[in-house]
Amino acid sequence: MLEIFASLGLALGLIGGADPTLLGIVVLSIELSLVAAVAGAAIGLPLGALIAVGRFPGRRSLIVLLNALLGLPSVVVGLVVYLLLSRAGPLGTLGILFTPAAIVVAQTLLVAPIVAALARQTAEDAWKDYEEQLTSLGVSRLRAVPTILWDARFSLLTVVLAGFGRAASEVGAVMIVGGNIDGVTRVMTTAIALETSKGDLPLALALGLVLIAVVLAVNAGAYAIREWSARHHG
Amino acid sequence: MEVTLRPGRWSSRLARMAVASTLLAAYPAAAQGTFITVSSTTSTEQSGLFRHILPEFTKATGIEARVVAMGTGQALDMGRRGDADVVFVHDQVAEEKFVAEGFGVKRFEVMYNDFVIVGPKADPAKARGKDVLAGLKAIAAARAPFVSRADKSGTHAAELRYWKAAGIDLANDKGPWYRETGSGMGPTLNTASAMNAYALADRGTWLSFRNLGDLEIVVEGDQRLFNQYGVMLVNPARHAYVKREAGQKFVDWVISPAGQAAIAAYAINGEQLFFPNAKAGG
């Protein structure tokens, strides 16, 4: 128990002290996770909505597959991205292994299925409400996708935040494709893993508390935006 | 009809965000100057050696060295795949094989540190002393808990050599007392600390390790515990991407008087961790 209190004090000191190294790590973590969340949403939201409103053969299997991908082991994603981006791999010419871009790729692959699976559920509910109205207006299923996404935008914000949370808390894949390079690809989670392996458990836990605070702040901000726009745009 | 107008804006915004995110993702890779990727071991990174010597290398050459730290086996494999420009590790047998296979240009000796056996202060196996083989025999005889890296690292390779030299056939003798963690030095020490077990560790990681629990050094000072580090440029003939010039500068610098002095100057609590021993002129 004592250790946890010591970590709490250390965490407050870290936040209050505004250590530039820590600040760099925090900023990089947020930046990469946001980019991955946006990219994952750009892929996952339309995909989820398409599956929700579309009627095509294999749709059910696709839904099962998508839901199964929620449990995609991140280490496997990391390994696959590593093999793809490795100099000896098919995308080796890009030369982005062990750069922040590689981290974003891995995070996006983890975020997209989550966003797609959750968006599918949300969009399907919205489709039930609007199906009659939209079809009577002569709107095709494909054309209905943006409408439904827009209509469910506030619920979908939570879905994107879930994606952000997954990206920000990711460690296995990020370690493999980023390499945890000091000042280049070291993010919150890999820094925590590093301090744990150095046996500095209070510092590791303190960094963990900082990470939780960051995720909390992003969620609070998103919640505030949602409340604000709900009030202004109904 | 308002409902159908808005989505257009939404999707164009989505498209803009996608473009912006692609740009954002690409800029960190493009904005940097010359850098090389060095695959090295957890012992050099986690002990703080690189943080101490790399700024001096960058000051001398203007080249940024990015270190990816992992076990020696994995670090060499990174070189084999062409994902590193320079490999800086500690397993002479594996390094020589790496060069012989044509993946490395030439191996240079850089420095050495030493391994220690750590264990519970009470030393239930009576392993304490200066002789590594006698210590291991005592641990095996007492069936005292021993935690192994088991991750094909340089330290793991050394541990296996010591067991063999001590005449202990792990294949037959290993029982519940011998725990394989399959992880790095730090996590292995964390496990040993939690289980109050013995473990083989490199001195650098041990000195910078904080979660000691009841552990302390029980065997040290044996000549056989010396641990040689080597550095080599990944063969550009094998992988065209290798930054031959910048990578060679790194190799030249670590074995130069300036690099060797920087290594010798690194200490934790006044204790020198690595002892430079590059042969003059390579």
The CATH number given to whatever domain includes residue B56 is 3.40.190.10
pLDDT at residue A101, rounded to an integer: 96
Residue type (1 letter), A180: N
Asked if the structure places residue B28 within a domain, the reply is no
DSSP H or E stretch at residue B85: none
**Distance between CA atoms of residues B116 and B126, nearest Å:** 15
Most confident of A197-206, B27-36, B266-275: B266-275
Q: A38 to chain B: which residues are within 8 Å by CB?
A: 17-18, 20-21
A·B CB contacts under 8 A: 115
Q: B53 to chain A: which residues are within 8 Å by CB?
A: none
Per the CB < 8 A criterion, the answer to whether A75 and A144 are in contact is: no
Q: A197, B42: Cβ pair inside 8 Å?
A: yes
Q: Are residues B171 and B217 in the same domain?
A: yes
Per the CB < 8 A criterion, the answer to whether A70 and A48 are in contact is: no
**Distance between CA atoms of residues A137 and A122, nearest Å:** 22
Q: B11, A146: Cβ pair inside 8 Å?
A: yes
Q: B208, A179: Cβ pair inside 8 Å?
A: no
Q: Which of B200, B225, B250 is the last residue of a domain?
A: B225
Q: Could you tell me which chain A residue has the CA closest to the CA of B188?
A: A197
Stated pTM of the model: 0.84
CA distances for B198 relative to A16, B14, B130, B179, B212, angstroms: 40, 57, 15, 10, 12
Q: Are residues B57 and B70 in the same domain?
A: yes
Q: Are residues B56 and B130 in the same domain?
A: no
Per-residue confidence band for A185, with pLDDT thresholds at 50, 70 and 90? very high
pLDDT at residue B4, rounded to an integer: 36
Chain A closest-CA separation from residue B172 CA (Å): 31
**Distance between CA atoms of residues B229 and B251, nearest Å:** 12
pLDDT at residue B84, rounded to an integer: 96
Model confidence over A78-99: pLDDT tens digits?
999 999 999 989 999 899 999 9
- Percent of chain A at pLDDT > 70 equals 98
Asked if the structure places residue B19 within a domain, the reply is no
Per the structure block, which two tokens stand in for A98?
A: 């062990």
Q: Are residues B190 and B201 in the same domain?
A: yes
> Chain A interface residues facing chain B, Cβ-Cβ under 8 Å?
31-32, 35, 38-39, 41-42, 45-46, 86-89, 92, 95-101, 104-105, 137, 139, 146-147, 149-151, 153, 179-182, 184, 194, 196-201
Q: Are residues B139 and B55 in the same domain?
A: no
Q: A46 to chain B: which residues are within 8 Å by CB?
A: 14
What domain range includes position B127?
A: 114-225
Chain B closest-CA separation from residue A40 CA (Å): 9
Q: Of A86-95, A202-211, B54-63, B149-158, which range is least confident?
A: A202-211
Asked if the structure places residue B45 within a domain, the reply is yes
Partner residue opposite A147 with nearest CB, options B3, B187, B211: B3
Q: Could you tell me which chain B residue has the CA closest to the CA of A134?
A: B4
Q: B28, A100: Cβ pair inside 8 Å?
A: yes
Q: Are residues B214 and B131 in the same domain?
A: yes
Q: Could you tell me which chain B residue has the CA closest to the CA of A88?
A: B81
Per the CB < 8 A criterion, the answer to whether A78 and A105 are in contact is: no
Q: Are residues B107 and B237 in the same domain?
A: yes
Residue B9 has pLDDT above 60, yes or no: no
Partner residue opposite A146 with nearest CB, options B10, B25, B26: B10
Q: Which of B205, B225, B245 is the last residue of a domain?
A: B225
Residue from B19, B21, B193, B235 to probe the interface with A (highest A Cβ count within 10 Å): B21
pLDDT at residue A71, rounded to an integer: 87
Residue B213 φ/ψ region, left for φ over 0, alpha for ψ in the -120 to 50 degree band, beta for the rest: left
Q: Of B17-31, B165-179, B214-228, which range is least confident?
A: B17-31
Asked if the structure places residue B12 within a domain, the reply is no
Q: B81, A86: Cβ pair inside 8 Å?
A: yes
Chain A closest-CA separation from residue B223 CA (Å): 27
Asked if the structure places residue B40 within a domain, the reply is yes
Chain A closest-CA separation from residue B167 CA (Å): 32
Per the CB < 8 A criterion, the answer to whether B199 and B159 are in contact is: no
State the average pLDDT over residues B106-126. 96
Chain B closest-CA separation from residue A183 CA (Å): 9
Asked if the structure places residue B165 within a domain, the reply is yes
Q: Are residues B168 and B252 in the same domain?
A: no
Q: Are residues B92 and B220 in the same domain?
A: no
Q: Are residues B89 and B151 in the same domain?
A: no
State the average pLDDT over residues A127-142. 85
**Please, what are the domains in chain A?**
24-186 (1.10.3720.10)
Partner residue opposite B29 with nearest CB, options A89, A99, A137: A99
Partner residue opposite A198 with nearest CB, options B10, B17, B46: B46
Q: A199, B21: Cβ pair inside 8 Å?
A: no
Q: Which of B188, B204, B225 is the last residue of a domain?
A: B225
Residue B20 has pLDDT above 70, yes or no: no
Residue B5 has pLDDT above 50, yes or no: no
Model confidence over B145-182: pLDDT tens digits?
999 999 989 999 999 999 999 999 998 888 899 999 99
Q: Of A13-22, A30-39, A85-94, B70-79, which range is least confident?
A: A13-22
Q: B184 to chain A: which residues are within 8 Å by CB?
A: 197
Residue type (1 letter), B172: N
Alpha-helical (H) ranges within chain A are 2-17, 20-53, 59-68, 74-85, 100-136, 141-151, 153-169, 172-178, 188-197, 201-233
Q: B25, A100: Cβ pair inside 8 Å?
A: yes
Asked if the structure places residue B8 within a domain, the reply is no
Specify the higher pLDDT residue, A135 or B53. Answer: B53
Q: Are residues B99 and B135 in the same domain?
A: no
Asked if the structure places residue B18 within a domain, the reply is no
Q: Are residues B134 and B217 in the same domain?
A: yes
Residue B42 has pLDDT above 60, yes or no: yes
Total domains in chain B come to 2
